[in-house]
Chains A and B, each alone.
Chain A
Amino acid sequence: MARTATAPGVPTTLLGKAALEVDDRLIVAGPLRRTLNKVFPDHWSFLLGEIALYAFVVLLLSGTYLTFFFDASMREVVYEGSYAPLRGVEMSAAYDSALQLSFDVRGGLFMRQIHHWAALLFVAAIVVHLLRIFFTGAFRRPRESNWLIGVVMLVLALLMGVTGYSLPDDLLSGTGLRIISAILLSVPVIGTWAHWAVFNGDFVGENIIGRFYIVHVLLIPAILLALIAVHLLVLVKQKHTQFPGPGRTEHNVVGNRLFPAFAGKATGLFFIVFGVCAALGGLVQINPVWLWGPYNPAQVSSASQPDWYIGFLDGSTRIFPAWDINLPGDYTIPALFWPTVVVAGAMFTVLALYPMIERKLTGDTASHHLLQRPRDVPVRTSLGVMALTFYVWLMIAGGNDVIADKFDISLNAMTWVGRIGVIILPPIAYVLTYRMCLGLQQHDREVLEHGIETGVIRRLPHGEFIEVHQPLGEVDAHGHGQLAYGGAPVPKKMNQVGGARRAIRGFFSPIEEPAQVELEQRREEHGPAAAESSRELTTSGRPQEGGRPQEPRD
């Protein structure tokens, strides 16, 4: 194809020419333009999932560094490194190399700590993201598949955490490994075989660290990466949901384009996430394996806990009664089976199937792209808070010995608080949330009908005092607002409708001159809006009558 220098639109810069050559061969300009033009809503809650994504990137980078030095072997060695209190102690090569990483590898301890903090952050961000999706109804048709992928990724993240926790082979992680082994053994019928399959023999064997290692560094990360890609592709294909608001419909997305606005923000957020992980990794000690000592099945420490995301299972186990089921013929279903395998299985099954359950119960099979405010769906919101209460309560029970010790409470009392609370608190949470949702709904309706409370008290000629209300729009003959509720936040303070003029811009400190803004607004005051607002608050109040509802007179 012959190009001439005079053809319109032909690039003249070097970069442009290079890009043209690339596009000539790969034909990417079209798709790239579409992608770069993709619109992202800029509500803050849409960035929660991104925190998880960036934490995952931090995990990949720091984890790669750790693999350079970590030796996933259970070979017995004698420690001869620079940490004196363990010198001469027999330990596995895995623990030995974890100590080497901590004390003898440049930047090793920092990387270990970043990796561990990023792992805690990864799961925490996934949970917060999941809560946002749940409470705003973003999982509804057509996004059930992405919900399902998300739940699978959450489970994988937990497995990732469990395998990573076990790798250093210190006394704490070995205790966790023993519990994993016990949970496997507790499964009826297949338990023993499952244990033999995973551990390649009895506890602890010589293979488990190596197996967990490859699962932790290759298998799960690869699956997670693939699922993240699918998660994002489905998101791009289905487009973002958005909160209802002015100009936002089921058929559009209001926000910033990927390039440049959103890309800038995303890069900024990436650096914030990286910064938080680095700051925690550099300033706050996490999992000091040298203090735990090497794993020895004969030893155990008080206050041995899993990382927070497994805490709910530890808690359910701690408060579950010791109900072994003895079957005829020497078969036993240990009590451990219920609070671990059954509780976790039931929780994640219900979580994964929730979109389908809700679709079935409500009969709502329509596609939704506008989000719901939690208050507008009180049953779902209350169910969510109920489940969250259950989960958090189990998590607290998982640390009940530390709480008992630090707050000088009897451990037995903590166990019973856990048992009773886990039964009575979720229903209480349900009822309270339901009432709160209804109350918030009613307040929205009230403001739409009667206007915003201005705080201005007026005395009427016959002596009655009323509070002046600012209607949000046109009112009917009785002073009632005509606006219908649109699923979007209703302004409830005069500031939100410009009652105090606009705010000075700037997040940390003002980026504009307050005096200048004052002058600017004085000039604007000659507009019709300003005149109206002054009229409403100073004249006799009719026809608004301060937004006070009136009896029909005729």
Chain B
Amino acid sequence: MSTTNPQSDAQPDGGSPRVRWSRRPADGTPAAAARARRRSKHRRRVVNVAGLMAALVLTGALYSALSPAYATNEGSGSESAAEAAGRELYERSCISCHGENLEGVPTRGPSLVGVGEAAVYFQVHTGRMPLVRQEADAPDKPAVFSDEEIDQLMAYVQANGGGPTLPSGDLRDGDLAQGGELFRLNCASCHNFVGQGGALSSGKAAPSLEGSSALEIYTAMLTGPENMPVFGDNQLTPDEKRAIINYVQTIDNQADPGGAGVGRMGPVAEGLVIWVVGIGVLLFGIFWMGSKA
């Protein structure tokens, strides 16, 4: 039997206390065997603790090596000048709705984590952000920030939230006819076949694409502002996006071969024209020809 009680170990040989306390009992005595047993137990314990420590350290090291590198140390010296300036702008104009850490504020503004500089470019460049007031839609208006400030905001949000970045190269470099097909399939149901925009529910609206820059259209597709769905690169490849932009801008800049475009609105505007101009002129004509009462 094995027990950890030294008294019980000593009892079978019935030795004196002196024997019991002697450091070096002769080998082969029961006391020596018990002592050896105790020593190996102690060693085992030390090894266990060391193993555990090693495993923990290893796990920690592996974790820190394999886990995504999350946000660099905020406020540390590693922040660039642009990011710092962007932080300043952010804290002055955006923080009340989008939160201290881009996490968003419930009922006020969405999180900006993951929206990327593309969203910042679209929202701020078209004047949608900063918002004048909370309402159904963020209308576009003259941009509040200068291009330089927009770059700083973009740098700050990109550095702290990550997400899609601005595209590069010729954004109109795509097949025109294919762009038209894609536009009618993906965009026309809200923006109208000619990009005139249209009403959505409850005061929301798809804006007119007239006069939109290529970069604005691209970043809008990439980030899905307001009510617009996100058209990520797996839904519309960068080439397809460029084709759509080519179509939208070609149509926008194209003259109306039929004469005055009357807003390219289709039958509503045409009905107005026939009643006001057509019937109006003809009534004038028959007043002229016929007699009055």
Q: Do A and B come from one complex?
A: yes
Which residues of A123-174 are within 8 A (CB) of B?
A: 124-125, 128, 171-172
Which residues of B173-206 are within 8 A (CB) of A?
A: 176-181, 184-185, 188-194, 196-203, 205-206
Which residues of B139-194 are within 8 A (CB) of A?
A: 176-181, 184-185, 188-194
Q: Which residues of B contact A402 (CB under 8 A)?
A: 198-199, 265, 268
B199 and A401 within 8 A (CB): yes
B267 at the interface (CB under 8 A from A): yes
A42 and B291 within 8 A (CB): yes
- A116 to B178: give the CA distance in the assembly, Å: 29
Q: Which residues of A contact B259 (CB under 8 A)?
A: 113, 282-285
A265 and B190 within 8 A (CB): no
A46 at the interface (CB under 8 A from B): yes
A306 and B267 within 8 A (CB): yes
A488 and B293 within 8 A (CB): yes
- A124 to B250: give the CA distance in the assembly, Å: 35
A300 and B188 within 8 A (CB): yes
Closest CB-CB distance, B282 to chain A, in whole Å?
5
Q: Which residues of A contact B194 (CB under 8 A)?
A: 291
Q: A301-B188, A411-B199 are in contact. Are A171 and B193 (CB under 8 A)?
A: yes
Contact of B271 among A48, A269, A280, A308 (CB under 8 A): A308
Binds A, one of B8-16, B57-65, B78-86, B273-281: B273-281
Contact of B267 among A284, A300, A308 (CB under 8 A): A308
- A185 to B267: give the CA distance in the assembly, Å: 25
Size bracket, chain B contacts: 35 or more
- A413 to B199: give the CA distance in the assembly, Å: 12
Closest CB-CB distance, A115 to chain B, in whole Å?
12
Closest CB-CB distance, A264 to chain B, in whole Å?
10
B199 and A272 within 8 A (CB): no
B258 and A288 within 8 A (CB): yes
A236 at the interface (CB under 8 A from B): no
B121 at the interface (CB under 8 A from A): no
Closest CB-CB distance, A169 to chain B, in whole Å?
14
- A291 to B271: give the CA distance in the assembly, Å: 18
B256 at the interface (CB under 8 A from A): yes
- Binary flags per residue of A39-51, CB closer than 8 Å to B gives 1, else 0: 0001111111001
A291 and B277 within 8 A (CB): no
Q: A303-B192, A303-B196, A307-B271 are in contact. Are A243 and B293 (CB under 8 A)?
A: yes
Closest CB-CB distance, A293 to chain B, in whole Å?
5
Q: Which residues of A contact B47 (CB under 8 A)?
A: none
B293 and A43 within 8 A (CB): yes
A304 and B285 within 8 A (CB): no
A87 and B177 within 8 A (CB): yes
Q: Which residues of B contact A300 (CB under 8 A)?
A: 188-189
A200 at the interface (CB under 8 A from B): no
- A517 to B218: give the CA distance in the assembly, Å: 73
Q: Which residues of A contact B176 (CB under 8 A)?
A: 84-85, 87
- A311 to B277: give the CA distance in the assembly, Å: 19
Residues of A contacting B: mostly: helix
B266 and A172 within 8 A (CB): yes
A283 and B184 within 8 A (CB): no
Closest CB-CB distance, B158 to chain A, in whole Å?
33
- A109 to B194: give the CA distance in the assembly, Å: 19
Contact of A120 among B202, B270, B288 (CB under 8 A): B270
B1 at the interface (CB under 8 A from A): no
A86 and B288 within 8 A (CB): no
B122 at the interface (CB under 8 A from A): no
A89 and B262 within 8 A (CB): no
A252 at the interface (CB under 8 A from B): no
Q: Which residue of A lies closest to B290 (CB)?
A: A44
Closest CB-CB distance, B278 to chain A, in whole Å?
5
A89 and B198 within 8 A (CB): no
Contact of A293 among B180, B202, B264 (CB under 8 A): B180
Contact of B266 among A46, A282, A304 (CB under 8 A): A304
A293 and B193 within 8 A (CB): yes
B286 and A280 within 8 A (CB): no
Q: Which residues of A contact B261 (CB under 8 A)?
A: 285, 288
Q: A121-B274, A411-B201 are in contact. Are A311 and B267 (CB under 8 A)?
A: yes
B290 and A43 within 8 A (CB): yes
Q: Which residue of A lies closest to B206 (CB)?
A: A302
- A507 to B196: give the CA distance in the assembly, Å: 42
A76 at the interface (CB under 8 A from B): no
Closest CB-CB distance, A43 to chain B, in whole Å?
6
Q: Which residues of A contact B287 (CB under 8 A)?
A: 44
Closest CB-CB distance, B60 to chain A, in whole Å?
54
Considering only CB atoms and an 8 Å cut-off, how many residues of chain A contact the other chain?
74
- A301 to B188: give the CA distance in the assembly, Å: 5
Q: Which residues of A contact B289 (CB under 8 A)?
A: 44, 47, 265, 268-269
Q: Which residue of A lies closest to B176 (CB)?
A: A85
Q: Which residues of B contact A87 (CB under 8 A)?
A: 176-177
Closest CB-CB distance, A117 to chain B, in whole Å?
7
A286 at the interface (CB under 8 A from B): yes
- A188 to B191: give the CA distance in the assembly, Å: 35
Closest CB-CB distance, A315 to chain B, in whole Å?
11
Q: Which residue of A lies closest to B261 (CB)?
A: A285
A193 at the interface (CB under 8 A from B): no
Q: Which residue of A lies closest to B190 (CB)?
A: A302
- Binary flags per residue of B10-36, CB closer than 8 Å to A gives 1, else 0: 000000000000000000000000000
Q: Which residues of A contact B53 (CB under 8 A)?
A: none
Q: Which residues of B contact A439 (CB under 8 A)?
A: none
B95 at the interface (CB under 8 A from A): no
B43 at the interface (CB under 8 A from A): no
Q: A87-B177, A102-B257, A245-B293 are in contact. Are A302 and B192 (CB under 8 A)?
A: yes
Closest CB-CB distance, A371 to chain B, in whole Å?
11
B292 at the interface (CB under 8 A from A): yes
B290 and A411 within 8 A (CB): no
- Binary flags per residue of A239-253, CB closer than 8 Å to B gives 1, else 0: 000010100000000
A124 and B278 within 8 A (CB): yes
A410 and B293 within 8 A (CB): no
Q: A44-B292, A113-B259, A308-B274 are in contact. Are A291 and B282 (CB under 8 A)?
A: no
Contact of A276 among B190, B199, B278 (CB under 8 A): B278
A305 and B258 within 8 A (CB): no
Q: A48-B286, A288-B264 are in contact. Are A280 and B278 (CB under 8 A)?
A: yes
- A284 to B259: give the CA distance in the assembly, Å: 5
Closest CB-CB distance, B227 to chain A, in whole Å?
12
A292 at the interface (CB under 8 A from B): yes
Contact of B285 among A245, A272, A307 (CB under 8 A): A272
A287 and B266 within 8 A (CB): yes
Q: Which residues of B contact A60 (CB under 8 A)?
A: none
- A399 to B270: give the CA distance in the assembly, Å: 12
Q: Which residue of B lies closest to A244 (CB)?
A: B293
Closest CB-CB distance, A418 to chain B, in whole Å?
13
- Binary flags per residue of B90-134, CB closer than 8 Å to A gives 1, else 0: 000000000000000000000000000000000000000000000
Q: Can you list 15 A-B contacts (CB < 8 A)?
A: A47-B289, A269-B286, A284-B259, A291-B193, A293-B180, A302-B197, A307-B271, A311-B267, A402-B265, A404-B199, A405-B199, A410-B201, A411-B202, A412-B201, A412-B203
Which 3 pairs between the two chains have the least Cβ-Cβ distance?
Answer: A308-B271, A302-B198, A44-B290
Residue numbers of A with Cβ under 8 A of B are 42-48, 51, 84-89, 102-103, 109, 113, 116-117, 120-121, 124-125, 128, 171-172, 243, 245, 265, 268-269, 272-273, 276, 280, 282-288, 291-293, 296, 298-308, 311, 399, 401-402, 404-405, 408-414, 488-489, 507
Q: A288-B264, A302-B190 are in contact. List 4 more A-B contacts (CB 8 A).
A: A272-B282, A280-B278, A300-B188, A302-B197
